[in-house]
C-alpha cells in the first residue's frame, strides 16, 4: 500500500521522528521514504518544524582513536592517493566507459545543436538511480540545455523548476519548465554560479513555479556540476 | 551551535568522496553526536560504538542526503536510530537502570539538552529560529504528562513499553499521551505559523 495516501501518515511520521516507531514498522516506513517522494517531502517539512537543536552542553569528547578507526575501516586512504597509483583494470575500464559515454554525449550534442557547442556539465539523477537528464551549457553560459533519456513531462497542475545551488549558498531559480527537455536562457545574474562544485536540482512545484522563490516541492533530480 | 550551512557543505563534499571534508565533518559533529548517543545508551562504550557505526553510515549514505534538508537533523536521526537499534539488540535490563538514571524533570531537561536561542543571523536561519521558538512555546503548553512522555521518548529513545514501565502507567495510557501530545503539538505549531504569517 502507498504510505503517502495512508490516513495515519502524520501519526506514523510523528512516531518516527520521536523514535517510538520500532522494528518492522520502522523498516516499512524507511522503505516508503526511499520509494515515495511525497512521504520524504512530508517528513522534511515536519522535521523542520519539530526538530529541536541539541545544545552544545550535551557534547562529549570523542575517543582519541575514533577518527583513525573510521579511516582504517572505511579504507579512506584510497580516496587520497593520486590517480596514477590506483589505476587498476576495473578503474581503467570505468574511465574508458566514462570517456566513451562523454564522447557519445558530446557527439549527440554536436548533432542536435547546429549553431553552438554545448558542453555537458552535470548528470542529474534520482537518488540512487542512473542519470536520466544531462545538463549542458554553451561556452558563454548563456544557454543551458537539458536532455532527458526519456520524456519527463509535468502534470497539468505542476511545473518543474530548475535550481542552481552554489557551494554553501541558497538555491537560485534558473527556469520553470513544463518538461525536462529543451534549451533555455540562463538569467544573467546566475551565469557565474554554473561552475564546478555547485549543484543542479529539479523540484516539482505548483504550476507556474515555486510561489516562494525557494524550492517547495520534492527534489526529483539532482547532480553536481563537474 | 553548529553552523548548518557549513555542515551542509561538508556533507555534500563528503558525498563527492572528499575525505578532508569528511574529516572536518567528524571533527565538528562527533562531540555533539556522541552526546546524543550517550543520552540514549547511557553507557559510554555503547555510545562510542553508535558514533562509529553512525559515521560509517554517514560516509556511505552521504549521497542520499537531501541538499534542501536539515544536515544536522539528518545526522542526528542516523545516530538516534542506530542507538535505539543497539539498545534493542542488547535488551539489557534498561528499565531498572533508567529508574535510577533518568531525570524526572523534563522541564529542566528540555532547556538543558536543547538550544532554543535565536542567535543566528544568517538569512535562512531566521525561519529556523522562529520555528524553534514556536516549538518551545508549544511544548510548554502541553499537558505535563504528554510533555513528559514526549521528552523522555525523544531524549532517551524509550519505546512505548519502556515508557510505560518507567512511568508506572498502562501501555494504552502512554500510547495515548504520545499520540495526543504529537497532535496537540502539531495543532499549536500550525496555529503559530498561521498566525505569524497573517500578522506580518
What per-residue confidence (pLDDT) applies to A43? 87
What is the model's pLDDT at position B44?
92
A134 touches chain B (CB under 8 A): no
Which residue of A35, A39, A43, A52 to mutate against B (max B Cβ within 10 Å)? A52
Whether A87 has a pLDDT exceeding 80, the answer reads no
B76-79: list long-range contacts, CB under 8 Å, 24+ apart.
Answer: B76/A51, B76/A54, B76/B33, B76/B36, B77/A17, B77/A47, B78/B54, B79/B33, B79/B36, B79/B37, B79/B50, B79/B51, B79/B54
> Across the interface, do B35 and A58 touch by the CB < 8 Å criterion?
yes
Chain A interface, best mutation among B23, B33, B73, B157, by max A CB count within 10 A? B73
Nearest CA in chain B to A78: B19
Question: Which pLDDT tens digit goes with each residue over A37-72?
Answer: 888 888 888 887 887 888 888 999 999 999 999 999
Tell me, what's the pLDDT at B200? 34
CB contact under 8 A, B59 and A74: yes
User: Which segment, A91-105, A126-140, B112-126, is predicted with the most confidence on average?
Assistant: A126-140
Q: State yes or no: pLDDT of B196 exceeds 50.
A: no
Q: Would the CB atoms of B113 and A55 count as touching at under 8 Å?
A: yes
Q: Give the tens place of pLDDT for each residue, B37-89.
A: 999 998 899 999 999 999 999 999 998 888 877 889 889 999 999 999 998 88
CB neighbours of residue A87 within 10 Å: 10
How many other CB atoms are found less than 10 A from the CB of residue A197?
A: 15
Chain A and chain B share a number of CB contacts under 8 A equal to 156
Q: Which of A22, A167, A219 sits opposite B66 (nearest CB)?
A: A219
Amino acid at each position: 500500500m502507498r504510505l503517502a495516501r495512508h490516513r495515519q501518515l502524520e501519526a506514523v511520521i510523528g512516531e518516527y521522528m520521536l523514535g517510538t516507531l520500532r522494528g518492522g514498522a520502522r523498516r516499512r516506513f524507511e522503505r516508503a521514504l526511499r520509494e515515495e517522494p511525497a512521504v520524504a517531502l512530508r517528513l522534511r517539512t515536519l522535521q523542520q518544524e519539530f526538530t529541536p537543536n541539541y545544545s552544545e552542553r550535551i557534547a562529549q569528547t570523542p575517543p582519541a582513536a575514533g577518527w583513525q578507526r573510521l579511516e582504517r575501516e572505511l579504507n579512506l586512504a584510497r580516496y587520497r592517493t593520486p590517480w596514477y597509483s590506483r589505476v587498476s583494470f576495473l578503474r581503467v575500464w570505468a574511465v574508458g566507459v566514462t570517456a566513451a559515454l562523454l564522447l557519445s554525449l558530446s557527439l549527440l550534442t554536436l548533432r542536435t545543436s547546429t549553431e553552438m557547442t554545448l558542453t555537458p556539465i552535470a548528470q542529474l539523477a534520482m537518488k540512487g538511480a542512473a542519470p536520466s537528464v544531462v545538463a549542458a551549457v554553451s561556452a558563454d553560459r548563456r544557454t543551458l540545455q537539458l536532455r532527458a533519456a526519456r520524456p519527463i513531462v509535468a502534470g497539468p497542475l505542476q511545473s518543474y523548476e530548475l535550481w542552481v545551488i552554489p557551494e554553501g549558498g541558497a538555491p537560485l531559480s534558473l527556469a520553470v519548465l513544463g518538461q525536462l527537455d529543451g534549451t533555455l536562457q540562463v538569467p544573467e545574474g546566475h551565469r557565474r554560479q554554473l561552475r564546478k562544485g555547485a549543484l543542479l536540482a529539479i523540484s516539482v512545484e505548483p504550476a507556474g513555479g515555486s510561489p516562494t522563490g525557494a524550492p517547495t516541492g520534492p527534489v526529483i533530480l539532482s547532480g553536481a556540476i563537474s | 551551535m553548529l553552523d548548518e550551512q557549513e555542515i551542509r557543505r561538508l556533507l555534500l563534499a563528503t558525498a563527492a568522496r572528499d575525505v578532508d571534508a569528511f574529516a572536518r565533518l567528524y571533527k565538528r559533529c562527533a562531540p555533539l553526536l556522541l552526546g546524543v548517543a550517550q543520552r540514549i545508551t547511557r553507557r559510554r562504550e555503547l555510545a562510542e560504538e553508535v558514533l562509529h557505526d553512525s559515521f560509517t553510515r554517514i560516509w556511505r549514505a552521504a549521497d542520499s542526503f537531501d541538499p534542501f534538508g536539515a544536515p544536522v537533523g539528518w545526522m542526528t536521526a542516523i545516530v538516534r536510530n542506530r542507538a535505539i537499534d543497539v539498545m534493542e539488540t542488547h535488551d539489557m535490563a534498561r528499565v531498572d537502570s533508567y529508574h535510577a538514571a533518568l531525570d524526572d524533570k523534563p522541564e529542566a531537561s528540555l532547556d538543558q539538552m536543547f538550544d532554543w536561542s535565536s542567535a543566528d543571523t544568517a538569512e535562512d536561519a531566521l525561519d529556523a529560529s522562529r520555528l524553534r521558538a514556536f516549538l518551545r512555546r508549544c511544548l510548554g503548553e502541553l499537558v505535563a504528562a504528554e510533555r513528559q512522555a514526549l521528552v523522555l521518548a525523544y531524549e532517551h529513545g524509550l519505546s512505548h513499553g519502556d515508557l510505560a514501565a518507567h512511568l508506572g502507567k498502562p501501555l494504552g495510557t502512554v500510547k495515548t499521551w504520545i499520540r495526543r501530545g504529537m497532535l496537540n503539538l502539531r495543532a499549536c505549531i500550525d496555529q503559530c505559523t498561521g498566525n505569524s504569517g497573517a500578522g506580518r
